[in-house]
A and B are shown apart, each in its own frame.
Chain A
Amino acid sequence: MLSIKNLHANVEGKEILKGINLEIKAGEVHAIMGPNGSGKSTLANVLTGNKSYEVTGGEVVFDGKDLLDLDTETRAREGMFLAFQYPVEIPGISNATFLKTALNELRKYKSLPELTPREFLERIKEKANILGLDETLISRYVNVGFSGGEKKRNEIFQMLMLEPKFVLLDETDSGLDIDALRIVSDGVNVYKNEKNAFLVITHYQRLLNYIHPDFVHVLYKGKIIKSGGKELALELEDKGYDWIKTEEVEIDKA
């Protein structure tokens, strides 16, 4: 579904991604772990087409299309979804308007008719229920006055509403208490199937207790320096990142 080859990217002139290679197939959950400043969020932003991040080399193919050629909105309409690390507050726009606009744009792209107000409301009810969200949230402004946990839950709510093919979770666990973490993970697990795929970006192993990855990659200084199965996450939890760093230094020397 997503194939990243030798991806390089700069932020404000500084090279952050130094050749990322990653293959993600439908039905898979991948986790990217790494210490602060390793380039995790840069990867998420580059994949969603944030203009502040400059791609300097490599290619990304998403379902047969050259992803880097598409603008942010087209990537979303093709089925890419980013659950933001810091969801944005937008005073003056209600969640209802926001979601209705987004949903109808996605449907237009797929040549589907707009949802009727009734269908829209039923969908909201159903998805809000999964996350135990209060339906009155829908009339509130997007993320305004939401707690950190509510914002993250709202990201997952948007995911359930928009039904993307490929989901990037950018530090979705940060700032969540254990209950919120469980709710958010339940939302993801309910949605997960063989047709979609996830890339979970996280600093800590904690989230991976709830969302089970098929593959774990370690990102360090802009490169994936180690890949493995679920057990790699546990190992990282146990030993921290230092042992891998040491390993890398040895590789460099070799």
Chain B
Amino acid sequence: MTGKEFYIDNFKIFQEKLNGESKSFLNEIRKDALKSLSELEFPTNKVEDWKYTNVTPILKQNFVPAVNASVPKITEKEIQSYLFQDFDCHLLVFINGLYSEELSIVGQLPKGAVAGSLRNLTKENPELLSKYLNKISITDNAFNALNTAYALDGLVVVVPDGIIIEKPIQVLYLNTNDKENVLSLPRNLVVAGKNSQVSIVANYRGAGEKIYFSNIITEVFADENSIVDLCKIQNETDDSFHIEKVQAIQKKNSVFNHYNITFGGSITRNDINSRLDGENIETHYYGLYMVNGKQHVDNHTFVDHAKPNCMSNEVYKGILDDSSRGVFNGKIIVRRDAQKTNAYQQNETILLSNKATIDTKPQLEIFADDVKCSHGATVGHLDETSEFYIRSRGVPQELAKSMLIRAFANDVIETVKIDPLKEQINHMIFEHLHRVEIKTE
């Protein structure tokens, strides 16, 4: 038994594990999703959106849903080596997608604000959750259905109207298991009320002897005049799989900044979607993918301009080495009502090896007539003239290359607002370039 049947079959065990929790509103959502899962197929290369990404290696394995699997023992000390340091933050830790109360350190939050786990909130405040959960994202494919069918835990951030959460929220998603191949299914929900502000650092890390599969859905609701920063840094193990769908809905005057930085994973697929459902909205997508070996990273972004006077800006940059493969598909729709839209998109990739490949596709569909839209895609090698110039000042070739690569990535990295985080990402770029094992203790 493989793939779909395995996951459908495991659902019974999952339900038994839940005990009383299966009586929640969430369980109805799960059962519907299970039905969708049985009806839907996992995407193949015949589906246009998955043309360049073959998911067969993911489906060949059976990954045990984390709640059905053994639970690894992780100490506070171990956690330290995975965290982004040197800035004050609230910390939430998820091990294989399940919240760890003892490893998390959530400080004092403003009145009414929530930064916690889906599992706890399903018990503590189902009314609040049921207003938003699964309302923003729709099921596009069997991966989405799989996440929803097993939806149990994940990050929930709810910021009431007029509230600013000053400190960033760092969320460590550590996936690790030495005994079984585990399926990690974070189900994240971020709700920013009117005039609110929140910044989240989503830190995906991997360890352990077994491979695993992270299959994530993140729903973001940005109400009027809110500012939401979501910065994802993905450093999964090189033989694991990572799929995330981010679905955001933005109301008027809101700002959504999404950062998507990929270093790890054997196959990575990100779907980043925003629906701009109001006027004067700003959406920024910043992406960096830096992979090597046989890694495959596919970023599909979608900005849906539904109303007038909004702007979206997208910068995705890639550095591909060895036989790695990149895919970028940037879709922008400007609907008929969305006059005075400004939409920009840029995808640039550097190939460090002759075997690395990138498939890049801008996809603009414009139905309004008074808009400014532009897109561009470049693919190239590291500039030899610049390299020679740097070397002619006494800098060794390897260092010259790494300077140029960091300079190339800078357009993306410099937009990160937390300075110590910026530095640590820069350091990761350096480590990645020089094939230093990302530190683990």
Contacts and interface: CB of A to CB of B under 8 A. Distances in A.
Tell which of B384, B385, B411 has the most Cβ of chain A within 10 Å. B385
A76 B392 contact: yes
Given A73-B394, A92-B411, A105-B394, A87 B389 contact: yes
Interface residues of A, number: 29
Contacts of A49: 392
A88 B385 contact: yes
B386 A90 contact: yes
A50 B399 contact: no
Given A92-B411, A101-B399, A77 B394 contact: yes
Given A90-B407, A92-B407, A93-B407, A73 B395 contact: yes
Interface string B102-121: 00000000000000000000
A90 B411 contact: no
Contacts, number: 73
A82 B390 contact: no
B397 interface: yes
Contacts of A87: 389
B428 to A, nearest CB: 17
Contacts of B390: 90, 98, 102
Interface string B348-389: 000000000000000000000000000000000000111011
A117 to B, nearest CB: 16
A76 B391 contact: yes
A91 interface: yes
Contact of A72 (B388, B399, B409, B411): B388
Nearest to B403: A93
A79 to B, nearest CB: 9
Interface string B396-422: 110110011011111100000000000
B393 interface: yes
A218 B388 CA distance: 28
B392 A72 contact: yes
Contacts of B388: 50-51, 72
Contacts of B403: 93, 97-98, 101
Nearest to A162: B393
Interface string A87-131: 110111100011001100110010000000000000000000000
A84 B415 CA distance: 33
A231 interface: no
Contacts of B384: 51-52
A143 to B, nearest CB: 9
Given A81-B393, A87-B389, A92-B407, 19 more contacts: A51-B388, A72-B388, A73-B392, A76-B393, A76-B394, A76-B395, A81-B392, A82-B392, A84-B389, A88-B389, A90-B404, A91-B407, A91-B410, A92-B411, A93-B406, A93-B407, A98-B403, A105-B396, A162-B393
Interface string A229-242: 00000000000000
Interface string B128-153: 00000000000000000000000000
A48 B395 CA distance: 13
A42 interface: no
Nearest to B411: A92
A23 interface: no
A101 B390 CA distance: 10
A144 to B, nearest CB: 10
A109 B389 contact: no
Contacts of B395: 73, 76, 101-102, 105
Given A88-B385, A88-B386, A90-B386, A98 B411 contact: no
A158 interface: yes
B212 to A, nearest CB: 35
Contacts of A106: 394
A97 B403 CA distance: 9
A52 B400 CA distance: 17
Contacts of B385: 88
Interface in A58-78: 71-73, 75-77
Contacts of A71: 391, 397
A102 B394 contact: yes
Most buried by B among A51, A75, A92: A92
Contacts of A92: 404, 406-411
Contacts of B394: 73, 76-77, 102, 105-106, 109, 162
Interface string A146-183: 00000000000010001000000000000000000000
A29 to B, nearest CB: 21
Nearest to A48: B392
Contacts of B386: 88, 90
A50 B386 CA distance: 12
Given A88-B385, A88-B386, A105-B396, A73 B391 contact: yes
Contacts of A48: 392
Nearest to A72: B391
B78 to A, nearest CB: 34
Contacts of B404: 90, 92-93
Contacts of B410: 91-92
24 contacts: A49-B392, A50-B388, A51-B384, A71-B391, A73-B396, A73-B397, A75-B392, A76-B391, A76-B392, A88-B385, A88-B386, A90-B386, A90-B389, A90-B407, A91-B407, A92-B404, A92-B408, A92-B409, A92-B410, A93-B406, A102-B393, A105-B399, A109-B394, A162-B394
